[in-house]
Amino acid sequence: MPKRQDLKSVMVIGSGPIVIGQAAEFDYSGTQALRVLKEEGIRVILVNSNPATIMTDPEFADATYVEPISPAVVAKIIAKERPDALLPTLGGQTALNTAIALDKDGTLEQYSVELIGANIEAIELGEDRQKFKGVVERSGGESARSTIVHSMDEALDAVQDLGLSGRCPPLLHHGRARFGHGLQRGGPSPHRKRYLQYSPTTEVLLEESILGWKEYELEMMRDANDNVVVVCSIENLDPVGVHTGDSITVAPAMTLTDREYQKLRDISINVIREVGVDTGGCNIQFAVDPDTGRVVVIEMNPRVSRSSALASKATGFAIAKIATKLALGYTLDEIPNDITQKTPASFEPTLDYVVVKIPRFAFEKFPAADPTLTTTMKSVGEAMAIGRSFTEALQKALRSLEQRDSEFAFDAPEDVSPLLDAMATATTERLYQVQQALNAGADMETVYGITKIDRWYLDQISLINETAHTLRTSPELDEDVLRLAKRHGFSDEQIG
């Protein structure tokens, strides 16, 4: 269907200040959206409190408000500018929460502002943990077993009913438990009563722990004609328990069988249809038990997200740009693919290469910070590399961090015990500890048992170590040896 003609002006909400946990990818997405709106002849009103972003350049919008992103402030801007529609799906959780508040307080209805890119019902189905659980069940998927409790007696009974134990303690969500704010891990602790005290509604969500499972993500898009595409599959090298933003991620997913991938794909398509995301993108996260193959849907974001930026760069499929066009009324088959210029966006991208993203940390700037990686994001940026193989992309990404000692070193330590002890805790150094331990002869099964990093990745790291050994022991650097090293991502400095 052609572009809607009734939209003359659109307001876009940005993500506000760049803080740890909400990095700059929303500026990347927002800038794409503003360009599309301007190209379509629409008057653009931008609200974003961060003047350091590209999107706040005066060229990108007809009216730019560098103001706090709060419902009260945005309502005043709406009253002044009278936009026809509000596009909140490109500014992360900040923009989405603001749009929800403006709908609930009646501002959008008062000024006849339409929400485009997502509707309130779809947002709530995706964001509300209890409602989303129902969506997953209706879509043929499974959620982690959970229950909401309001007292310690209820909590202790629930732990028994869910079959949870000290070996596999529950995850506890306090605050507005249904929306999963304040994720904390439970466990045998005398302070568990505090979770009820932290919650303003004395409401805590107990959920079975899936720590140590394999984690995957599918980036999806759907239009108003029910065309659905999977833009990209992404796999976390780290198991569940490390925030995706702090994990090394790989696209496409490397360790799924075709049968497993098709199962995740089918569930994702059912979920995006059931939620009702019909003019944009979303991402759906999964956990897979490495021992049984059981698949659990973790969550979805009914908006452009951090992983959307990664998927866009990995595939060349401009997710934010296309999501904006969908919000204006276009369908996927009407939007040309930027890369091919021949196929429409309704064709799914195919990757014949490997993309690796590695987070960048700056703990040297925060001496008191704990470098342990948990479900709370701590990275301040990331580097991404593309290669013909995982080993090539991994080594190129490490080099791209541009930090001292970011590349692998190949002088094997004499004793691997300290490394094995250290890697039991997920930190920024774990990848290097794994590489050094394997290089020193540590048993792969032992390393897997400690870290739960998939054996395929451990084998690939061992392959890098073997290539380094070949380089070191070769009598001369002939063409075959040089090609081998380059195909596994070794730099000139490493080869030298």
Residues 48-57 pLDDT 10s: 998 888 889 9
- What tokens does 426 get? 């997920």
Give the mean pLDDT of 254-275: 94
Per-residue pLDDT of 292-303, as tens digits, reads 999 999 988 888
Give the mean pLDDT of 2-7: 84
The dihedral built from the CA positions of residue 213, 216, 222 and 226, taken in this order, carries a sign that is negative
Question: Is-contact 319 231, C-beta < 8 A?
Answer: yes
Residues 202, 218, single domain; the answer is no
Inter-CA distances, 44 with 94, 181, 356, 437, Å: 19, 32, 35, 55
Give the mean pLDDT of 333-361: 91
Per-residue pLDDT of 109-130, as tens digits, reads 999 999 998 888 888 888 787 8
CA dist 353 and 390 (Å) reads 8
130 is a domain residue: no
Domain termination residue (choose one: 177, 207, 237): 207
CA dist 397 and 403 (Å) reads 11
CA dist 47 and 11 (Å) reads 8
CA dist 182 and 176 (Å) reads 8
The pLDDT score that the predictor gives to residue 22 is: 58
367 is a domain residue: no
- What tokens does 408 get? 């692998």
39 is a domain residue: yes
Residues 103, 152, single domain; the answer is no
Range of the domain at 425: 402-495
The pLDDT score that the predictor gives to residue 437 is: 97
Model confidence at 187, pLDDT cuts 50, 70, 90, reads very low
Residues 306, 425, single domain; the answer is no
Per-residue pLDDT of 422-433, as tens digits, reads 999 999 999 999
Q: Is the pLDDT of residue 102 over 90?
A: yes
Residues 347, 223, single domain; the answer is yes
CA dist 70 and 53 (Å) reads 18
Residues 426, 314, single domain; the answer is no
Q: Calculate the average pLDDT of the chain.
A: 87
Residues 256, 178, single domain; the answer is no
Residues 223, 338, single domain; the answer is yes
29 is a domain residue: yes
The secondary structure element, H or E, covering residue 207 is strand 204-207
The dihedral built from the CA positions of residue 73, 75, 76 and 78, taken in this order, carries a sign that is positive
Give the mean pLDDT of 257-264: 94
CATH code of residue 416: 1.10.1030.10
Per-residue pLDDT of 137-184, as tens digits, reads 999 999 988 777 878 788 777 777 766 654 445 555 544 444 443 334
Instruction: State which of 205-219, 264-278, 455-469 shows the largest mean pLDDT.
Output: 455-469
The secondary structure element, H or E, covering residue 99 is helix 92-104
- What tokens does 327 get? 């919000």
363 is a domain residue: no
Q: Which of 296, 105, 111, 287 is nearest to 212 (CA)?
A: 287
| Residues 6+ positions from 189 with CB-CB distance below 8 Å | none
φ, ψ of residue 125 to 5 degrees: the values are: -65, -35
393 is a domain residue: no
Residues 318, 417, single domain; the answer is no
The pLDDT score that the predictor gives to residue 334 is: 94
CA dist 356 and 339 (Å) reads 20
Q: Which of 280, 399, 398 is nearest to 335 (CA)?
A: 280
Per-residue pLDDT of 464-484, as tens digits, reads 999 999 999 999 999 999 999
